[in-house]
Amino acid sequence: MKRKNFSENTYKRTMKGAATLVTLACAAAVIGTGCGKKQTETAAAVEAGASAEEKTTDTDANVSKDETLITVVSGEIKVSGVNSKGVSINGTTVTITDAGTYRLSGELEEGQISVEAGDKDDVRLVLDGFSITNSETAPINVVTSGNFFIELADGSENVVEDKREALNQDSSSDKHGMEAPPMGGGAANGMAEGQNGGPADQQKTSETSEQSGSESEKNDISKEKPGSDNSKSSGTETSSDVPDAAIYSKSDLYITGSGSLTVSGGYCDGIHGKDALVISDDVRLEITAAEHGINGKDSLEIQSGEIIITSGEDGLHSKGDVTISDGSLEIHSEDDGIHADAALIIDGGKVDVADSYEGLEGLSVTINGGEVIVNASDDGVNAAGGSDTSDDIFAVTDGAAITINGGNVYIAASGDGLDSNGDVVVTGGEIYIDGPEIGANGSLDFNGTGTITGGTFALTGASDMFQSFSEDSTQIQLIVYYEEQQAAGTRITVTDSKGNVIYENDESTQAFKAFLLSSEELKSGETYTVKTGDKEESVTVDGNIATIGERSAGMMGGRMNGGRGAGEKDGQAGNEAQGEMGTPPEGAPEMNGADGQNGVAQGHGAPGQGGPGGMGGQNGQGGNPPADMGGTPPDMGGAGQMGNPPEMPTEAQ
């Protein structure tokens, strides 16, 4: 009985407990549903919060788990992130010693970012609203690393300013040995740079020249500035160890991204890479520099981007090749717009050399496409070797060539338009050479051969030193010589026998006495009318060259049809097959005689002495007058040295 009572009691208790459990379970189920919902909402909120935090980090600090953040707040430098141990701070100097990506923001006054990593450690600086200045050394200095990258964060604005006093205090006028902006290289009467009105670059390339701004100094390695590649020595620190740019890198330098960067190179260069230097992506660079704007020692490549440069020397400079694939460049330079010791290649983009002494210069210059605009106070495009010391101003330099295969090319030059110590080759493109109007220079000037096989090529300029393409060119040339000089802006219209306009132009900015047009639209046997202003003349093409008018040449006899013509008594040029120098007209002193050499610049100063029989020009060597001419030459007070009188020919050759 007791067991029964026990069982019943147990049963009752069990059922009661079960009922309680069911009740609790039901309650728990109801509560659990709410809690589950709440937990889900909480988890979602945590996840959303984490996502929001991550998003905030990406938006505000722009630092990922793979980056190290270097932030400057009220002058205090803070470092955080994955590779903080690779960064050390000493005052306002930040030293990076490990590979990695470092994102910089804030304003750092009188500071420096120094990269001293291993020679295989790639270092990337992401400039994200970062400004740095320094008045004692380069603000960004890469001593050692593997590849070095500067990435401009999307939409960011960044500033790097080298506030050091300019190393070279010479004015632009001193650089070229002239008191006023030069109007051309080489003049017939011994003007500075260039003998007897020939191409100036042969004189410029003399490595022994002492003229402060001569072409030889640009190519003479002995004149390199501190930080250059040719002033190296071993042992103690020398001037070659001084970083000479606002951004200075001894490693390959790559500038990428889609932000903007303003660079001020007050000491020497704006950006100087001692190895390869490549600019790409959607970067926007504005650079001012005491010397070169962008200097890539081994090579310089512009793949894209928008670049504006104002420089005291070259806008773009390299001891190797310069290649422009795309992008937009605007250059204001006091020396070369773009200079390459080796090859200068333009494949595309827009290149606007708005101001320069010489526009484009390299041993070879090749334009394959794009839009090229050049304004130069001397030569527009110059192909010349930097080590040529030949006394023959018409000598051909190995490898020197100007080649135009495509693109739209406009050149306004006070010196030679296209000046090659070798060949000029045109196979395509739309080319217009505007000027020069000074007779000592030519729109087209080459020492080798000049050939045109395609494209549209036009020029207006002086007739004295006029050269056309060689007669064996496959494309027809139409040449007009004017008796009177035509004013700048005079409209020229060329029509065929049916009245179709073949060519029209009224955009010349310089007066001219010669016009040349070569186009695939010109046909043999066709008659063309050239209207210049309100005057019309016609010519029928018979052969590859059709000529209107007669060229009046100066004392040099001029050059035409690809050679150096043999001078006639009236000074006009012939077409000698060997291309020899024309003999001066009767009564003129012999050129380049042993005692009558003219025009070798001796440095900045007043004109050299010269009498009635002398040919002295600015800074040139003047000849004494022949004894039978009487009188003593006036003392001009200049630096030029007196020379013996040139030998007077007994009769014209």
The secondary structure of 328-353 as a DSSP string is EEEEEESSEEEEESSEEEE-SSEEEE
* pLDDT of the residue at 611: 36
Least Cα distance to 103 among 134, 83, 126 occurs for: 126
Q: Does 620 reside within a domain?
A: yes
Residues 575 and 605 in one domain: no
Residues 581 and 600 in one domain: no
- Of 188-197, 502-511, 565-574, give the range with the top mean pLDDT: 502-511
Q: Does 447 reside within a domain?
A: no
Residues 275 and 310 in one domain: yes
Residues 254 and 310 in one domain: yes
Q: Does 91 reside within a domain?
A: yes
Q: Does 313 reside within a domain?
A: yes
pLDDT band at 581 (very low <50, low <70, confident <90, very high): very low
Q: Does 204 reside within a domain?
A: no
Residues 644 and 569 in one domain: no
Residues 569 and 651 in one domain: no
Residues 597 and 650 in one domain: yes
| Of the residues 254, 283, 318, the one at which a domain ends | 318
Residues 558 and 603 in one domain: no
Residue carrying structure tokens 């050091």:
164
Q: Does 370 reside within a domain?
A: no
Residue 272: count other Cβ atoms within 10 Å of its Cβ. Answer: 28
CB 436 within 8 Å of CB 461: yes
CA atoms within 13 A on the CB side of 63: 19
Query: Per the structure, how many domains does the chain have?
Result: 3
Residues 154 and 89 in one domain: yes
Residue 535: count other Cβ atoms within 10 Å of its Cβ. Answer: 11
Checking if the pLDDT of 238 tops 90, the result is no
pLDDT band at 191 (very low <50, low <70, confident <90, very high): very low
Q: Which range marks the domain in which residue 621 is found?
A: 593-653
Residues 653 and 559 in one domain: no
- pTM for the structure as a whole: 0.72
Q: Is the peptide bond before 436 cis (omega within 30 degrees of 0)?
A: yes
Q: Does 491 reside within a domain?
A: no
Q: Does 155 reside within a domain?
A: yes
Residues 651 and 606 in one domain: yes
CA distance 89 to 144: 18
Residues 638 and 573 in one domain: no
* pLDDT of the residue at 13: 43
Tell me the mean pLDDT in the region 114-123.
97
* pLDDT of the residue at 553: 57
Checking if the pLDDT of 332 tops 70, the result is yes
